[in-house]
Chain A
Amino acid sequence: MKGWTGKTLLVDLTHGTITTEPLNMDIAPLFIGGRGLGARLLWDLVGPEVDPLSPDNVLIIATGPMTATGFQTSNRFSVSTKSPLTGTVLDANSGGYWGMRFKRAGYDLMIIKGRAPKPVYLEITPAGVTLHDASHLWGKRVAETSELLGQDKNKRNVLCIGPAGENLVRFAAIMNDATRAAARGGPGAVMGSKNLKAIVVEGDERVEMADKERFRFVQYEATKMLKANPITSQAFPEFGTAVVMNIINAIGALPAYNFQQSHFDNADAISGEAIAETILVRNAACWACPIACTRISKTSKGEGEGPEYETTWAFGAACGVDDLEAITNANFLCNDLGMDTISAGSTIACAMELTEKGLLTSDLRFGRADLLEQTVEDIAYRRGLGDELAEGSYRLAERHGAPELSMSVKKLEMPAYDPRGMQGQGLLYATSNRGGCHMRGNMLGVEVLGLPKLVDRFQIQGKASFVILHQNSAAVLDSLVACKFVNIAVAEEYLARALTSLTGITYSTGELIRAGERIWNLERLYNLREGFSRADDTLPPRLLNEPATGASAGWVSHLEPMLAEYYRSRGWDEHGVPKPAKLEELQLADLAAEVIHG
């Protein structure tokens, strides 16, 4: 077996059994690994009758053929499950070292079923795979849990949940290597519902390659690209992802005050430059990553990882807060409690607006930096109002009679780009298979950063084609599994050649993108089977009706014409259902029968 290890680990927590089976090579080349393979397996294993927090939901933790090969950013793994926040198909992925180690333990993926009768953790070492009692770890935070289980990034890597996952916070994260997070959509709550506290891995099996020499050449050429690109070689290492804060604010696409505005007067105070000048200790990198965008920061509360751009926005501009220290402390807490910073910050912002509009009784007001940490704690432990916030912004706003004040798509809180100032971004959010998400396609690159070339951010005509291409491409990256940031400099033609030299299976660039299209359509079918429809492919009414401020003043999202073009371009009907010819072309016709005809 080349590229893949060929081995799947099956863990049944209800019965305490652990078995292995060969990787299904009828489907692996078509869905690659990671997110794609996860979605394909989820299709078979978790139907519409399954509650996401019931034992019948599964947790699929998958690497891809690229993982652990040493290719730039080949450190990631993906978690697939049915989301407790959105009810959609979900994948969330994370970097660090754990994914590399799991692959080097000899597995492509593991499927975790059932629910343990009491808290357990799983240990995977060359000596075997065993389940252990985790009663002494339950209730402990991420850093302490990781330490107690012997976290050593170069040898023994710990993946775990924190109190948020245990308490079934709907946006709880699965954390690894103490500070990395697979967070969006709440996979940590699924892990918590299974009474699974942690997964520890050791191993050092090298990935076999079909053509190592050719792989090294592709890697060498990719290195040139990464060194030459100013984002990957300068901006991200020096300022982190928050380098885009001032750029996004300048174009009037930085949502502030729960998207009531699309610029933030004091954005500079929470920018990448401000981080570098005030709290930054050093930058750091995931395994095999030359970009090193990670921030190691220090505040009066201590040293930790973060903040990323999205986090700085979520606890910052979204909440009307310009206190970088308070934002960073809230970030550190989210890491330690194990939850998604985007949903946490955006849900707090929603509560602030509900309060200011008299729909909720609380002390939360825009600008109350002093309340961020306590609110984050309350969410993780479901204390007081925190119990309501732990359900996410949509359920919170709905409970208080104003669901339109949740800035979410399919109940997943949108991140830090205002669709009114980036028209394609709005279409990306509206059609995202896991809900409001910026990682489903790099429209920031297309509409702002000029990757590969700048396309007018207010252009409507033809924008659907860019969204589709980048959605398909993102599905490929999530399935290889590689970091989205490598793709800033390294185009798909390099990834196709790397995958070919790894697996011995010829992938042209076109075929690789086609695999991404297959994955996207399968996820669409999954959501249709769950009952989602065209009505869910939309944005909060605020973005469709209330004009933007700042440099995008006067603009609203022109979603409808883009959506119609999107469906046509995807080969879907006017209801957003893939047409038979498209499914045939993508080798999905058999799977689709129950959705299309049932």
Chain B
Amino acid sequence: MVDERVYEMFREIGRDMYVHNLVSSHGGNISVRFGDRIIIKRRGAMLGRLKPHDLIETGLEKNDSGVALASTELIVHRAIYKATPALAVVHAHPRVAIALSLSRDEIVPIDNEGSYLLKKVPVVSVEFASGTRQMADTLAEALKSYKIVFLRGHGSFAIGQTLDEAFQWTDALEEAAQIIMYAKYLNEEMIEYRRMSDSYSSW
């Protein structure tokens, strides 16, 4: 039985992700780790309209009946939890960031908030970019060093101690991506305001 406080957090973060255009109607997924158990969004459920029965509990290592109901990306969430200290995972499809990921190997924010919070977000590529072992291992490895990582053409995977922390990295990334896009539209010479900004790529 999932604690009511946990459901409330899922419902609020899921709704905010949809409202912020970070996912389409049925896209994205979120989960938390409780020790050797995972609570994850139900496969096919809408993040913007989560009900208590949309929270599926299953094992971190062991399969049980929960896997029949869990998100397609369960394999990725499990790999991330096993490789990193994460207690929560947020996977989204932020649109501008997806567009940027098509042409670069890292997203380096140019706005103050993005630089401050994220420094840089690496972009990784895999051949089969949905629910595969290769994808799970690649993302888990990258998330050992970064709190948010981008899968090219697909979306972001962010980790945190809580869902709202992982959501914060996700929302900050999309905001930073939009600012990069606007600055590109303006096509004016950037006046650098950040000391040591050349070092962000080395983060």
List A residues at the B interface (Cβ < 8 Å): 213-214, 217, 220-221, 224, 228, 446, 452-453, 455-456, 459-462, 464-466, 468-469, 472-473, 492-493, 496-497, 508-511, 513, 565-566, 568-569
Contact = CB atoms under 8 A, between A and B. Distances in A.
Interface stretch (B19-27, B67-75, B83-91): B83-91
A492 B147 CA distance: 11
A569 B82 CA distance: 12
7 contacts: A452-B160, A453-B160, A462-B33, A464-B34, A472-B85, A510-B84, A510-B85
A493 B196 contact: no
Interface of B: 2-3, 5-6, 32-36, 83-85, 87, 116, 119, 143-147, 160-162, 164-165, 195-196, 199, 202-203
Contacts of A453: 160-162, 164-165
Given A220-B195, A509-B147, 18 more contacts: A217-B196, A228-B116, A446-B161, A452-B162, A453-B161, A453-B165, A455-B161, A461-B2, A462-B3, A465-B33, A469-B85, A493-B146, A509-B84, A509-B144, A509-B145, A510-B83, A513-B85, A566-B35
A497 B116 CA distance: 15
Nearest to B202: A214
A218 B3 CA distance: 39
Contacts of A228: 116
A510 B145 contact: yes
B85 A509 contact: yes
Nearest to A228: B116
Contact of B161 (A221, A452, A459, A493): A452
Contact of A464 (B35, B144, B147, B195): B35
B5 A224 contact: no
A481 B144 CA distance: 22
B35 A569 contact: yes
A214 B198 CA distance: 11
B203 A497 contact: yes
A565 B33 CA distance: 12
Contacts of A472: 85
Decide if the interface of chain B is mainly helix, strand, loop or mixed. loop
B34 A565 contact: yes
A508 B144 contact: yes
B85 A565 contact: no
A492 B145 CA distance: 10
A565 B35 contact: yes
A453 B90 CA distance: 15
Contacts of B87: 462, 465-466, 469
Contact of A459 (B3, B165, B199): B3
A459 B162 CA distance: 13
A510 B162 CA distance: 16
Contacts of B34: 461-462, 464-465, 565, 569
B7 to A, nearest CB: 11
Minimum-distance CB pairs A-B, first 4: A569-B35, A510-B144, A462-B34, A508-B144
A460 B3 contact: yes
Contacts of B6: 459, 461-462
Contacts of A568: 35-36
B73 to A, nearest CB: 19
B202 A452 contact: no
A471 to B, nearest CB: 11
Contact of B144 (A213, A446, A452, A511): A511
Contacts of A460: 3
Contacts of B162: 452-453, 455
A468 B81 CA distance: 14
Contacts of A462: 3, 6, 32-35, 87
Contacts of B146: 493
Contact of A569 (B36, B116, B143, B161): B36
Nearest to A492: B85
Contacts of B36: 568-569
Contact of B165 (A217, A452, A469, A473): A452
B2 to A, nearest CB: 7
B35 A508 contact: no
A569 B84 CA distance: 14
Given A220-B195, A510-B144, A465 B35 contact: yes
Given A459-B5, A472-B85, A510-B144, A214 B35 contact: no
A288 to B, nearest CB: 19
Contacts of B202: 214, 217
A569 B2 CA distance: 17
Contacts of A456: 5
A469 B161 contact: yes
Nearest to A473: B85
Nearest to B142: A508
A446 B164 CA distance: 13
Nearest to A516: B85
Contacts of A492: 85
